[in-house]
Structure 1
Amino acid sequence: MKRACTIEELHDSLPLTEHKTVLVPTMGALHEGHFSLIRKAREIAGPHGRVAVSIFVNPIQFDRESDLASYPCTLDKDLEACQKLGVDIVFTPEAESVYHPDRSITIHETSLSKLLCGATREGHFDGVCTVVAKLFNLFRPTDAVFGKKDYQQLAIIHRLVRDLNIPVTIHGAETVREEDGLALSSRNVRLTQLNREQAPIIREALVAARNAVDAGEKSADVVKSIALNTINAVSTIPRIDYLECVDAETLEAVESIDKLTLLATAVFFGDVRLIDNIELEPQG
């Protein structure tokens, strides 16, 4: 496995190849969710292709300084895991290597980022689009893998590639969960014991809503109410940032579940914000 800490080192580590290069962008603190993305990347790359992982805590996508300051760093463990998983190239730059001090250009997304996480995290997805576009330019991958837990991010990356004609195929990977249903996240370690016990209610709420849709319910308001009531039933009521039914492609709010729909939520347990979602498919 090769490790590059600067753009110059990355270029030296990326000789031309006729085989696939599959990129998995991460911010480190790797867990089984990330490992599943790397395994999927290896399947896509095949025996002769290469898997590349970036580990970079992107400062311009954080809307709260406290989140950036508290983001966990486990670089040594991350590199060890990448080695065991057969990653070919790992890019671990400092912010100064990625962004010029007088940088003046940022990619601005104007549609898909208006709802869900984007409604309360101003500038977040502009930061995501900017760094992902830079990574695509640096790696020139044939493919890239992103998790469906960050469904809005995945949809925006699809739009980024489409609108800017970036020649990379985007793959979405299913969310990896703990045994009790909680979506894996680097933020989970910050939960108190009580909050950790209660956090699986998010998944329970989403599944209850999907069960209603599977039984024939089409009203988005009814479906949202089922999920909301389930979350609010916990002994210490968490703070819901949002809970929305949206079109799975455009992310626009829907009133009726007539085609593939996403039920997405962000919930605060204390000061820890957890996101999750579930796809809803209408019956009949």
Structure 2
Amino acid sequence: MRFKADVSNPSQLSRLITSLAPLSKTAILKLKHDQVHLICRAGGTKTSVQVWSVINIDSIFRTDTLRLESNHQNEVYLEVSTDLLAKALKSASGATDVGVKLAKKGGSGPGGTGEGSYPVLSLVVQSSSRLGKRLEITQDVAVKVMKAAEMDQLKEPLCPTPQVALYLPSLHTLRTVVERLKTISSYITISANNAGELRLRAESDDAKVETEWRDLRMPTAGAEGMTDPPDDPHEFISVTLEAKDVLKFLASYSVASTTIACFCRAHAAIFYVYVGAERDSSGAQGSGGVLTFFVPAVQLGGDD
């Protein structure tokens, strides 16, 4: 099994992993010749927030340097600590070149191989000092190499057909609003309709606060599988989510170009965070890829 490549955009990769670190302690990387799949499950359960991402390989790695070999369709599956990988990538800030490879370290044999060795993602960061001297730093992040059978057991969440889909306002703006609403309640009710209206509400025994956006853009017909809209486009569909779960999704604001939200009444919210170029009018995916967040709803008395 081999994996080696030069990182084409270290800062983008760093922001991507950093945005997932608040969600889960670990991430699964499915490396293919054309795509990188990133999978995170907060708490490791089917009912927790999940991220299923598909990132185009050339937005992360230089394809002319990519070497990817395995006994299973030349795909490599790795489980890695999001926090440790994010810290390692921070050292690549301002680097002239960054390479990454799957290696073995800590063994008794030459180069750390042999008995007692363990797999690592080895990042080789090259930069220059103020005096022009070439500097090289190696960061090793321990990983677990997963088997194909383990990957086959991972399945995306099953959700009902959403009733509403719309483009969200700036995630940075939403993050500010949600942080303030969280001081009112641990739960936030999000309501939206197919007329481009979005409402965020938090309430307690002492207060009720609601924020509204209007004239938001709508995806093209049928986008993201939205095939069952209500007869009345002004009918609001509501989901109540834990505020901390919403903030985990909103941590992706640093990599988002555009975001489409889909709402399944009282069941879940699905957020498609597009990385890189914006989707075009035909619904084609942007050049970077998409992070898909599945956020389960909670049931509270008095929900709309």
* TM-score, scaled to structure 1: 0.29
Greater helix percent: which structure? 1
* TM-score, scaled to structure 2: 0.27
Greater strand percent: which structure? 2
| Larger CA Rg, structure 1 vs 2 | 2
